[in-house]
Amino acid sequence: MSLKSYLIQPVKVYFTALLIIGLLMLALLIGNLYYQTQSIQTSLQQKNQQQAQEEMSFALEENIINLTSNLLELAEWDEIRQQIEDPTYYYFWHEDRLKDSPYFKNHYTQLEIYDDKKWLLMPPTTDNSSDDRLPLHIANEEPTVIFTSEKEAFLHMFEPVFEPNSKTILGYIGISVALHQNLLTEHEFAFVNPDSIRFIGTKPITLSELGYYVEFDPITNSVSNDLWQLINHFTAYVIILLIISTVLIVILFQMLFSGPMQTLSNYIHQLKKNPKDAIEITQEHFLIKEFEELKHSIHDYHRDLQTTQHALQTQYKLVWEQARRDALTNIYNRRAFDEAWNELVATFEYNPSNITFILFDCDFFKALNDTYGHEVGDDVIRITAKTIQKSLASEYPVYRIGGDEFAIILTKIALHEAFGIAKKCLKSLKKYNFSGIGIKEKLAFSVGISHLEHQMSKNLRDDLLNLPRQADIAMYKAKQSHQQKIQCYKSQLEQESLSLVSSQVINTIVDAIHTGQYINMHLQAIHSVNSDTLYYESLIRIQKEDLLIYPSDIFSVVERRRLEVEMDTQIIQQMLNAFQSNLIPQNTGVSINISGKTLLQPQFTELFQPFIPYLKDYKIVIEIIENTLIDHMEYAKTVLNTLRKQGFLIALDDFGSGYSSIRYLAHMPVDIVKFDMSMTLALDADEKTKNIIFATAKMVRNSGYDLVLEGVETEDMLEKAKQAGATHIQGYLLGKPKSIPSFT
Amino acid sequence: MQSCILYLLKCLSICLLSISLPAQALTVVQKIPTLSLTAEANYMAGEQGKPAVLILHGFLTTNQFHTITSIANFLQSEGFTTLAPTLTLNISQRRNLLKCNSLHTHTMARDSIEIEHWVQWLHAQGHDKIILIGHSSGSLGVLEYLTTHPNSPASGAIFTSLFYLNAPELGILDDEVESARMLLKNRINKPSTYHFLFCNNQYYATPQSFLSYLKMDRSYTLKALNQLTIPSYTIMGGADKRFKKVGLNWLNALESTQTNLIVIEGANHFFSNEYEFDVQDTLLQILTSPPLKEPES
């Protein structure tokens, strides 16, 4: 299961998230409890309000009934009639009798008797101007509620006084009732807060409207209030507890987990940043045993890792040295040179300086090798390496980059200094007495120098990359001279070597080699002698418009410019395209020529990997020239056998053109030997030469190789080739090279 | 024991009579022109030939007072015509007891006028023989009426629980009397509270009203009894608590007058309980027998 990258977060983030989620859930729970309680509280308050409303309505209604009843009793009281009939002593009666009688209630603020015309029986004894006083005349018998500016309400009620057993009205009685006092004295309120009762009217109203003008608060439910208070306290306690718990959890988390993890993380980070340093274990102690153990484990693991790493580094150094040391001379080999050169190239732009490239080569070394044997040859190589190294400061290593080719890279010195160094080395070599190893001839060495004055360079990188080739050119020049064995590269050296080729041809060749344009691969048939099968040798041509350039010119330019690898790469690519485009006839095959330089490239075998699918239908032959193979026999064996195992065939090209050593013949990593054209032509030479050719051909055949004779141009030569034992014949007689497109 | 059995038997007989006599008493409403008042009385016509009896209630009560209703019901059951008025006490068609602290403006004279009105009314109804029964101060009202109306058509009077009203032993205070008299003299008829009968310093009355009743002192009462021109009976409860104030010699004083004194031993002022029947028996006996004492002509 793939894990999203954003899910990978520090433990603090997850802890905080979990803490927040936990707190949110608790807050939700408490909030819900609070909300539910509040709902109950609100519901109770509403119920209280409703009950209070009902109670108030009931109280008002009951009061009115009681007041009406009292009023009716009053109307039937004999003494009322007594006063109506004879009000002589009304004031006395009113003041001394009435208020002591059970008919007069405490909440009556006034009780007056009116005559049958509804006028007060007697003028009022007290100030009658205030609003709450009963009127002098009854305008309306309906009960009326009067409000005073003091927010008090008075109910004025009137009742006719009838003659006993008659409907004759003798008069009226009127009462003024202090409603607030009346409500308080007549009722024990269970739901209405008596102190909160207030009347809000201003103008007189009828009794039926009274309900709208009375305001009150319900008695708060003490149980509910206590519960509500309890919930509030509980909520507050829980919140405080949560805060304290959260702080404690955070502190504990920090102490127990986050702190140790951070410390360990920092420790690991330090180890990661400084893997080679011995970092002391933190002195901090953790409360959790596992962290404490982990701390020691990490420390111990790192210590062990360092020990192992140290051992590995030592081992690696050894291996590295071994891989970069030439077994014969114990100086740095080609691999070491490539790495040093690549590093120089990589860092040069950032740290440019004068660079001098010096090549040493032993003249006629192959001949020497063949003459005195490989042991002596090897001694020559060893001595040469040792002598050059001795002549150099220790900071400048000598690299063996080829069989008898040595290279030195000098930095930060001027050309004349480099020249002096080269001269010193050459002088030492000249001085050396090679007769001690049995060499009678005087050995000659050629030295090629190329130099880059970085302050003069316009293109540092390209100029640097050109140094090996330029040194090679200079050395080539030195080889041609008997006196000037040290040559410094100058541009005219290139001109000299290419003087026979026109600049147009050169440009076309170089362009073609670099871009692949204008290359027109040709195929020349190689026929089997014993069967009808054939395969083709791929031959390079470069054609730009009407200009057709042949291999002699191409190789001349490529060799002088050291473009062998580039050219081989283009040829391989062209042939791969031919296969991919089905331009190669079925049941045939192709042989591809490869230079020594390409063979020595680390990625050589990879160049042929794209051809593997075609091996089952085609014969694919890689042609290596004799000198290359013999010069790098051990390395070539490894590389070529790898390709052979994959199904490729290896052909030894131009056999007999160099210093072919018969002793290698039995162990060469090849399947086919191609005689150099000079050997084919030698079949027409004298008998002795012819016999040597025949004997050589026989040896080749007896060694189990196929034998190809090229350059067969006549029937006579064909016959002789067959007699010599050739398994395959190549030559104009059997077919000239043809452009690949012509095969389609 | 014997009296208890007798009491039960009488209760039973009254119940049976009540069932057998479905007739209801009428409320008679009468305007008394001279008083500008309307008065009420319960009237029940009895058998022809039997006297009509006017029964007058005591101080501040009405005709619904239990002693009055008991006597009236009994007499009605015996076939007598009864008339039980309620003195207005200056309140038209008064229905309820007046309290001590009610305003009292009524006078003995106005009470006599009302009694006269009812006696005349009875007479006008064709009752030739009218017997007046008074209870307590109602007896004094009847006595004063007979004194002040010598030509009354009443042919006899029965006084029950007859006492007098004005005496220090009855709680009358001289300074109050003097004060009332001064007020009246100065024509200041302002009501005041007085000690009168059972209304200890609570009797709220005008001086005129208060003083009108003080007329009925011991001597005036005895004298009035002696001056009656019709036969009279006086029935006293032997256990009346007022004797504690006036002394038992009041019975002797009564005995010494023309009235025929009958004392029911054990009975209280109101002849309550089993003594209710004793007084009824006594009344029946009086009403159905010739008088023991004839007034001196």
Look at residues A100, A93, A99, A67 and name the one whose alpha carbon lies nearest to residue A79: A93
Distance CA A198, CA A178 (A): 12
CATH numeric code, B26-99+111-165+218-288:
3.40.50.1820
Name B194's bridge partners. B203
Question: In this complex, which of B40, B103, B189 lies closest to A79 when CB atoms are compared?
Answer: B103
Question: In this complex, which of B91, B101, B190 lies closest to A78 when CB atoms are compared?
Answer: B91
Q: What is the pLDDT of residue A235?
A: 82
- Domain of residue A651 covers 503-743
What is residue B234's three-state secondary structure?
A: strand
Look at residues A505, A503, A487 and name the one whose alpha carbon lies nearest to residue A495: A503
The CB density around residue A598, as the number of other CB atoms within 10 Å, is 22
Q: What is the pLDDT of residue A523?
A: 92
Assigned domain for A293 exists: no
Give B140 to chain A, closest Cα distance, Å: 24
Q: Which residues of chain B from 140 to 169 reach within 8 Å of chain A, CB to CB?
A: none
Find chain A residues with C-beta within 8 A of B94's C-beta.
78, 82
CATH number of the structural domain spanning residue A545: 3.20.20.450
Q: Which of A392-406, A459-473, B20-34 has the lowest mean pLDDT?
A: B20-34
* pLDDT tens digits for range B227-243: 999 999 999 999 999 99
- In angstroms, the Cα distances linking B26 to A167, A523, B41, B42 are 20, 166, 8, 5
Question: In this complex, which of A82, A96, A165 lies closest to B91 when CB atoms are compared?
Answer: A82
Distance CA B90, CA B191 (A): 14
Q: What is the pLDDT of residue A182?
A: 86
Question: In this complex, which of A82, A89, A165 lies closest to B191 when CB atoms are compared?
Answer: A89
- The answer to whether residues A667 and A551 belong to one domain is yes
- Greatest distance between any 2 Cα atoms in chain B: 61
Which chain A residue's Cα is nearest to B191?
Answer: A92
Report residue B10's pLDDT band, with 50, 70 and 90 as the boundaries: very low
Q: Do residues A93 and B103 lie in contact, with contact meaning Cβ atoms separated by under 8 Å?
A: yes
- The answer to whether residues A366 and A428 belong to one domain is yes
Angle between helices B137-148 and B218-227 (to 10 degrees): 50
The CB density around residue B244, as the number of other CB atoms within 10 Å, is 9
For chain A, give the number of residues: 744
Assigned domain for A312 exists: no
Name A137's bridge partners. A119
Question: In this complex, which of B38, B90, B204 lies closest to A97 when CB atoms are compared?
Answer: B204
**CB-CB under 8 Å, A163 with B38:** yes
Q: What is the pLDDT of residue B8?
A: 45
Q: What is the pLDDT of residue B19?
A: 40
Assigned domain for A703 exists: yes
Residue A455 pLDDT exceeds 90:
no
State the Cα angle at A164 between A163 and A167, rounded to 5°: 55
Give B183 to chain A, closest Cα distance, Å: 15
Question: Higher pLDDT residue, B116 or A1?
Answer: B116
Assigned domain for A547 exists: yes
* CA dihedral (A650, A656, A657, A663) positive or negative: positive
Q: Is B56 on the interface with A (CB under 8 A)?
A: no
- β-bridge pairing B154-160 and A486-488: unpaired
State which of A162, A189, A215 marks the end of a domain: A215
Which chain B residue's Cα is nearest to A103?
Answer: B102
Question: In this complex, which of B99, B105, B190 lies closest to A86 when CB atoms are compared?
Answer: B105
**CB-CB under 8 Å, A97 with B93:** no
Q: Do residues A656 and A628 lie in contact, with contact meaning Cβ atoms separated by under 8 Å?
A: no
For chain B, give the number of residues: 297
Report residue B21's pLDDT band, with 50, 70 and 90 as the boundaries: very low
- Six-digit token string for A49: 């309000």
State which of A438, A471, A497 marks the end of a domain: A497
Q: What is the DSSP string of A362-393?
A: ETTHHHHHHHH-HHHHHHHHHHHHHHHHHTS-
Distance CA A471, CA A448 (A): 5
Give A187 to chain B, closest Cα distance, Å: 29
Q: What are the φ and ψ backbone dihedral angles of B80, each rounded to 5 degrees?
A: -85, 145
Q: Do residues A46 and A76 lie in contact, with contact meaning Cβ atoms separated by under 8 Å?
A: no
The 3-state secondary structure of B39-54 reads EEEEEECCCCCCCEEE
Name A411's bridge partners. A355
Q: Which residues of chain B from 103 to 142 reach within 8 Å of chain A, CB to CB?
A: 103, 105
Q: Which helix (H) or strand (E) holds B253?
A: helix B249-255
* pLDDT tens digits for range B241-285: 999 889 989 999 999 999 999 999 999 999 988 899 999 999 999
Mean model confidence pLDDT for chain A: 86
Q: Which helix (H) or strand (E) holds B277?
A: helix B275-288
Residue with tokens 């007022």: B242
- Give the single-character DSSP code of A137: B
Give A123 to chain B, closest Cα distance, Å: 18
- The answer to whether residues A649 and A588 belong to one domain is yes
Q: Which of B90, B96, B102, B208 to mutate to test the interface with A (most CBs of A within 10 A)?
A: B102
The pLDDT > 90 percentage for chain A reads 24
Give A167 to chain B, closest Cα distance, Å: 14
State the Cα angle at B147 between B144 and B152, rounded to 5°: 105
- The answer to whether residues A346 and A371 belong to one domain is yes
Assigned domain for A550 exists: yes
Q: Which helix (H) or strand (E) holds A15?
A: helix A11-76
**CB-CB under 8 Å, B101 with A79:** no
**CB-CB under 8 Å, B38 with A165:** no
Alpha helices in A137-216 (DSSP H): 179-186
- The count of domains in chain A is 3
Assigned domain for A341 exists: yes
- Six-digit token string for A327: 């077994």
**CB-CB under 8 Å, A164 with B92:** yes
Name B262's bridge partners. B235
Q: What is the pLDDT of residue B20?
A: 41
- The answer to whether residues A437 and A553 belong to one domain is no
**CB-CB under 8 Å, A78 with B96:** yes
Assigned domain for A88 exists: yes
* pLDDT tens digits for range A133-178: 888 899 888 999 988 887 788 999 999 999 888 889 999 999 999 8
Question: In this complex, which of B93, B96, B103 lies closest to A93 when CB atoms are compared?
Answer: B103
Give A75 to chain B, closest Cα distance, Å: 13
Q: What is the pLDDT of residue B13?
A: 43
Give A137 to chain B, closest Cα distance, Å: 25
- The answer to whether residues A537 and A680 belong to one domain is yes
State which of A171, A195, A215 marks the end of a domain: A215
Give A73 to chain B, closest Cα distance, Å: 12
Look at residues A164, A160, A159 and name the one whose alpha carbon lies nearest to residue A143: A159
* pLDDT tens digits for range B109-138: 999 999 999 999 999 999 999 999 999 999
Look at residues A418, A408, A417 and name the one whose alpha carbon lies nearest to residue A359: A408
**CB-CB under 8 Å, A85 with B98:** no
- The answer to whether residues A436 and A522 belong to one domain is no
Q: Which of A317-331, A406-420, A488-502 has the lowest mean pLDDT?
A: A488-502
Q: What is the pLDDT of residue A635?
A: 82
Distance CA A401, CA A199 (A): 120
Q: Where are the beta strands (DSSP E) in A140-292?
A: 144-147, 153-162, 169-178, 198-199, 205-206, 214-215
Find chain A residues with C-beta within 8 A of B92's C-beta.
81-82, 85, 163-164
Name A624's bridge partners. A594, A652
Distance CA B172, CA B213 (A): 11
- The answer to whether residues A419 and A360 belong to one domain is yes
Q: Is B38 on the interface with A (CB under 8 A)?
A: yes
Report residue A114's pLDDT band, with 50, 70 and 90 as the boundaries: very high
Q: What is the pLDDT of residue B9?
A: 45
Q: Do residues A434 and A443 lie in contact, with contact meaning Cβ atoms separated by under 8 Å?
A: yes
- The answer to whether residues A510 and A493 belong to one domain is no
Residue A575 pLDDT exceeds 50:
yes
- Six-digit token string for A12: 């603090």
CA trace torsion A431, A432, A438, A439 (10° rounding):
-50
**Side chain identity at B204, as an amino acid letter?**
Y
Q: Which helix (H) or strand (E) holds A455?
A: none
Annotated domain spans of chain B: 26-99+111-165+218-288
- The answer to whether residues A563 and A524 belong to one domain is yes
- In angstroms, the Cα distances linking B56 to A117, A573, B41, B64 are 36, 160, 10, 11
Assigned domain for A267 exists: no
- In angstroms, the Cα distances linking A46 to A34, A197, A198, A216 are 18, 18, 20, 14
CATH number of the structural domain spanning residue A199: 3.30.450.20
* pLDDT tens digits for range A34-45: 888 788 878 888
Q: What is the pLDDT of residue A503?
A: 65
Q: What is the DSSP string of A483-533?
A: S--EEE--HHHHHHHTTTS-HHHHHHHHHHHHH-TTB--EEEEEEESSSS-
Q: What is the pLDDT of residue B16?
A: 41
Look at residues A64, A47, A421, A35 and name the one whose alpha carbon lies nearest to residue A221: A47
- In angstroms, the Cα distances linking A194 to A186, A215, A656, B291 are 12, 11, 137, 72
- The answer to whether residues A351 and A462 belong to one domain is yes
- How far apart are the two ends of chain A, measured CA to CA in Å? 54
Look at residues A470, A281, A258, A255 and name the one whose alpha carbon lies nearest to residue A357: A470
Size of interface A-B (CB pairs under 8 A): 66
- The answer to whether residues A443 and A549 belong to one domain is no
